[in-house]
A and B are shown apart, each in its own frame.
Chain A
Amino acid sequence: MLGLGGRKSPLVWVMHLSVLLLVVLWTLPTAGLFITSLRTADQISVSGWWTALSSAERNAITRTPDGSAETQVGDRYVIAGNVLKNGGEVVAFGRSSLKPTQFKPGEVADLGDGITLSVKADGSYELSGPTKLEGGQRIFYTARTPPAFTLGNYAHVLSANGMLRAFMNSLTVAVPATVIPILIAAYAAFALAWMPFPGRSLLIAIIVGLLVVPLQMSLIPILTLYNDIGKATAVDAHGVIGTLMHYSGLGQMSDDGTQIGLNPKSYLGVWLAHTGFGLPLAIFLLRNYMVGLPREIIESARVDGATDFQIFTRIVLPLSFPALASFAIFQFLWTWNDLLVATVFLSHQQDSLVMTGKLKDLLGSHGGDWEILAASAFISISVPLLVFFALQKYLVRGLLAGSVK
């Protein structure tokens, strides 16, 4: 469109190049993470991820086995082995941390007392001496290794106990926590956009104001409320309602096992919490979209005899599909990536841990394992990305269908 009117090739090129630049800038950090997730912890800490494809020269230390591994060759005692485990080539070696590259491959280093050490380019070494050896000798070597990648990090993360469970838990949290707020927000947004009633603009103002409430502020009051509700709803644990609550997972048994009340830490609680926290933005975005729908279409439906409820379900809802789809994506991303709400409103038992919580767990109590972090970050974004790509098609289609004005 911008290139209308002939002579468009330079402009088109500029356009392609600038999009390319944007895309590269935007994917580079993630690409780095992805490559990092395919490297071992040692590789990560010694070289940048962009060097992963070139063969790397790296200094390393290894230790020969102790004396029990020696063999006798002629009159000398020998311990042999190979410093390289994954192929590559030794370019230098040494016997002391002070001069780790003192010798060329194949040279023989004198360790004193007639003991010698030699390392060949293929990594094989030989420690030999005239008397019995103690072994445990450190060998410093510089190896050139071809690029190597590992799926070990992913295997580690995926094989972690309870990962499938955590995945299910995340879905159980995220799906209703996406659908419920959208449903509630869509009705509210419709009323706020198209149904006149007193106090409407005040309500809109309040909702915009609530957008900014930091959810950390709500945690304690809400959890307290949940606990109170749990206590207030306590009934006999072995009655009909009690049994029902027990098997539905909604109930929480009291310590002595005689009473059961609504569990303050249940999926219901998390859904509602996510709903409450997600609503302001959902209403804000959806109302803004719905207000923009052609007014005559809604009036036409009204003249056709549709009630407000029918106008909403048959006209506004289908026409708002693009907005609903985009918000669904956002809300799903938030609930999927959320850790705080889930840890506060679900118990932190293993069996109710969500993915984010599980991944955090994997990092160990001190964190800092970048290779695990990288792999787990990639696993955790795979679902949101899948959702995005799946919904994107509908998003575009919906946008085109909606543009009849």
Chain B
Amino acid sequence: MADLIMKDVAKAYGEVKVLSNINLDIKQGELIVFVGPSGCGKSTLLRMVAGLESITSGTLSIDGRVVNEVPPAQRGIAMVFQSYALYPHMTVRDNMAFALKIARKSQDEINAAVENAARILQLTPYLDRLPKALSGGQRQRVAIGRAIVRDPKVYLFDEPLSNLDAALRVATRIEIAQLKENMPDSTMIYVTHDQVEAMTLASRIVVLAGGGISQVGTPLDLYERPENEFVAQFIGSPAMNLLPGEIVETGPETVVRLSVGGLVRTAVPTRDSDKGLKVNVGARPEDMVPTEADEHLFEGTVGITEALGEVTLLYFDKKGEAAQVIAKLPGIHAGLRHKTLRLAADPKKIHLFSNGRSLLYR
């Protein structure tokens, strides 16, 4: 029902184009996460959905109705702001009731909705406090409660967790996930720059970069089959290693000679004409395994190691112009520092990019 469709949506401030060619089809019940580096326009896009920014061109429709000119309140959306944007002069109860009062709902209806939301968010004891008497997490819950109370078709979250500390962030993240679980029919759009949030919450992720959509897909899609170097590096932590090289063998499996010296085989199929093509070989740190074999992806001296308990991160000394290579080994590996290590990876987990785009998607 509550489908949200963006068609050729673009945004420009005068001459400056901020967003262009945004085409997106959001189904009811999805939790879509917009991610991207700061300045990529993800918040702007969200605000365009909310109706707080005008749409320069293209159409935005919710439930099959073009809403480009519809004021925010009538789009059936609710929004949770990064700074919570609680009304400082109203109690928690009044904050949550505000929208309903504006809509002239009956007092009983308002009370029921507010109390219901408060119960879901465990805010009942705080209903008569002013926002300044609440902690950051509580404020955030009030902001969410304010959205729930309105029972919107679409929830919009604008980096809702970025003002919270790490522990609270995780806890609130799970709360949001549960909230979604309890409201399977509601559509949510969630903006964040934190890819962990994106991966854990999203039913689909929209990666925005350079004023356009870089890739849309389920979290695992993006993880396993990034369309381009940007998505490949943006999703996953630490970012995917990219090593320049040249295709030396084509076919259903491709062999690439790396400029740093290694030779690597991947499951990516290539055409004959690709021989000699300059490519970037992508391998996620967690896919790298130490090897004694000749055929290796990379050989280098371990600079710094970070032992995180369940895994150990190895940062190899840089070689020439190439980017630093990082490997993530399961378990604890003490004493690898200053050792020279040879690494290989499962050919199925190796990506090939040419001119920034994955060869898989040609």
* Chain B residues within 8 Å of A306, by CB: 73, 98-99, 102
Stretch among B78-86, B219-227, B294-302 lining the A interface: B78-86
User: Across the interface, do B81 and A300 meet the contact criterion of CB distance under 8 Å?
Assistant: yes
User: Across the interface, do B102 and A303 meet the contact criterion of CB distance under 8 Å?
Assistant: no
Of the candidates A296, A304, A319, A405, the one whose C-beta lies within 8 Å of that of B98 is A304
Kindly provide the distance from the CB of B338 to the nearest chain A CB, expressed in whole angstroms.
Answer: 43
* Chain A residues within 8 Å of B82, by CB: 296
* Chain A residues within 8 Å of B72, by CB: 299, 302-303, 305
Residue of A nearest to B98 (CB): A304
- Measured as residues with beta carbon below 8 angstroms from the partner, the interface class of chain A is 20 to 34
* Chain B residues within 8 Å of A363, by CB: none
For window 95-119 of chain B, which residues contact chain A by CB distance below 8 Å? Answer: 98-99, 102-103
A380-405 interface bits toward B, Cβ cutoff 8 Å, 1 = contact, 0 = none: 00000000000000000000011011
User: Across the interface, do A297 and B87 meet the contact criterion of CB distance under 8 Å?
Assistant: yes
A315 close to B (CB within 8 Å)? yes
Kindly provide the distance from the CB of A253 to the nearest chain B CB, expressed in whole angstroms.
Answer: 50
User: Across the interface, do A404 and B131 meet the contact criterion of CB distance under 8 Å?
Assistant: yes
Of the candidates A294, A301, A307, A404, the one whose C-beta lies within 8 Å of that of B132 is A404
A348 close to B (CB within 8 Å)? no
C-alpha gap A319/B72 in the complex (Å): 22
* Chain B residues within 8 Å of A310, by CB: 102
A239 close to B (CB within 8 Å)? no
A305-321 interface bits toward B, Cβ cutoff 8 Å, 1 = contact, 0 = none: 11100100011001100
4 other A-B residue contacts (CB within 8 Å) besides A306-B102, A404-B88: A294-B83, A297-B86, A304-B78, A404-B86
User: Across the interface, do A303 and B78 meet the contact criterion of CB distance under 8 Å?
Assistant: yes
Residue of B nearest to A318 (CB): B89
* Pairs A-B, 9 closest by C-beta atoms: A305-B73, A304-B99, A404-B88, A296-B85, A300-B85, A296-B81, A318-B89, A303-B72, A305-B102
B150 close to A (CB within 8 Å)? yes
Question: Which residues of B pack against A, CB within 8 Å?
Answer: 47, 50-52, 71-74, 77-79, 81-89, 98-99, 102-103, 130-132, 146, 150
For window 288-343 of chain A, which residues contact chain B by CB distance below 8 Å? Answer: 294, 296-297, 299-307, 310, 314-315, 318-319
User: Across the interface, do B83 and A301 meet the contact criterion of CB distance under 8 Å?
Assistant: no
Residue of A nearest to B54 (CB): A196
User: Across the interface, do B88 and A401 meet the contact criterion of CB distance under 8 Å?
Assistant: yes
A405-B146 contact given A302-B73, A304-B73, A305-B102, CB 8 Å threshold:
no
C-alpha gap A380/B77 in the complex (Å): 56
C-alpha gap A174/B98 in the complex (Å): 36
A315-B87 contact given A304-B150, A305-B99, CB 8 Å threshold:
yes
For window 173-188 of chain A, which residues contact chain B by CB distance below 8 Å? Answer: none
A301-B87 contact given A296-B81, A306-B98, A404-B131, CB 8 Å threshold:
yes
User: Across the interface, do A294 and B85 meet the contact criterion of CB distance under 8 Å?
Assistant: yes
User: Across the interface, do A299 and B87 meet the contact criterion of CB distance under 8 Å?
Assistant: no
* Chain B residues within 8 Å of A402, by CB: 88
User: Across the interface, do A303 and B89 meet the contact criterion of CB distance under 8 Å?
Assistant: no
C-alpha gap A305/B102 in the complex (Å): 6
* Chain A residues within 8 Å of B83, by CB: 294, 296, 405
Query: Max chain B CB contacts within 10 Å: which of A294, A299, A405?
Result: A299
Query: Max chain A CB contacts within 10 Å: which of B51, B98, B103?
Result: B98
